Chain A
Amino acid sequence: NAGVTQTPKFRILKIGQSMTLQCTQDMNHNYMYWYRQDPGMGLKLIYYSVGAGITDKGEVPNGYNVSRSTTEDFPLRLELAAPSQTSVYFCASSPRDSSNTGELFFGEGSRLTVL
C-alpha cells in the first residue's frame, strides 16, 4: 500500500527560487495537511484541506500556497524561497471523522534547504 507519497525527498534551492512539493494519497481521505518540522520546535501546520476545492490556512502559511483540485493530490508551492523556509515538510491525510478523533497518516517527508 502506497499511503501518502511525497516528492522530492530532498531539494536544495537558491534564495528567490520557487518550487512545488508534491503530495498524493491513495486512501480516498477527505482531509489533507502540510506541516513543517523545525529542530526542537515540533510540527507547525502550514495549510490544510477538507476536500477537493477547499483549502485553509494553518499556523504558518506565509510564503506558501496550496491547491486541491482532486481528492488525491495536495501540492505545496513555495514562492520566492527564503532561508527561513529551510525545514522538513510533511504531508498528511486523514479520513473525515465527525467526532474529531481521527488518526493522521504521514508521508516520509521532504527535506528542503534554501541557500
Chain B
Amino acid sequence: GDSVTQMEGPVTLSEEAFLTINCTYTATGYPSLFWYVQYPGEGLQLLLKATKADDKGSNKGFEATYRKETTSFHLEKGSVQVSDSAVYFCALSGYYGNNRLAFGKGNQVVVIP
C-alpha cells in the first residue's frame, strides 16, 4: 500500500541555518504530497502541498518539489528561526481515496538561538 518514509531522528540546528528534511514515498498511481507541521501542544496544520510531478509547494519560506523520478518530496528552508521549532510530517493522498492521508513518522526540528 501507499507509504511515506522520513529521515530518522530529530534535527537540531542554529538559527539562520539551512534546513532539509528528506521524504520519499511509495504509492500506486499519482498521489498528492503534503507537508504538515505540528507546533508544541497543537494539532497538525498544512504547511504546503503539491499535486503533480514537478510542482513546487511553498509557504512561510519553506519549499518542497514533487520529484516523480526519485519519488521524493524533500522539505527545505534557507534560514530557520526559533519559531520554526516543531514536528514536521510528510504525507500523501492517493490510492485510498476520500482524502485519507498516509503519514510519515515525523521529524522533530529544534532551532537554537
Residues in A lying within 8 Å of B, measured CB to CB: 4, 31, 33, 35, 40-43, 45, 48, 50, 58, 90, 92, 94, 97, 99-104, 106-109
Contacts and interface: CB of A to CB of B under 8 A. Distances in A.
Contacts of A107: 43
B100 A106 contact: no
B100 A45 contact: yes
Contacts of B93: 100-102
B38 to A, nearest CB: 8
Nearest to B108: A40
Given A4-B43, A90-B44, A109-B43, A104 B101 contact: yes
B97 interface: yes
Interface magnitude class on chain B? 20 to 34
B20 to A, nearest CB: 19
A90 B101 CA distance: 13
A102 B99 contact: yes
Nearest to B104: A42
Given A101-B32, A101-B51, A58 B100 contact: yes
A42 B51 contact: no
B105 A108 contact: no
Interface of B: 32, 34, 41-46, 49, 51, 89, 93-94, 97-101, 103-106
A45 B94 CA distance: 15
A37 to B, nearest CB: 8
Given A4-B43, A99-B51, 19 more contacts: A31-B99, A40-B106, A42-B104, A42-B105, A43-B44, A43-B103, A58-B100, A94-B99, A100-B32, A100-B97, A101-B32, A101-B93, A102-B99, A103-B34, A103-B46, A103-B49, A104-B44, A106-B44, A108-B42
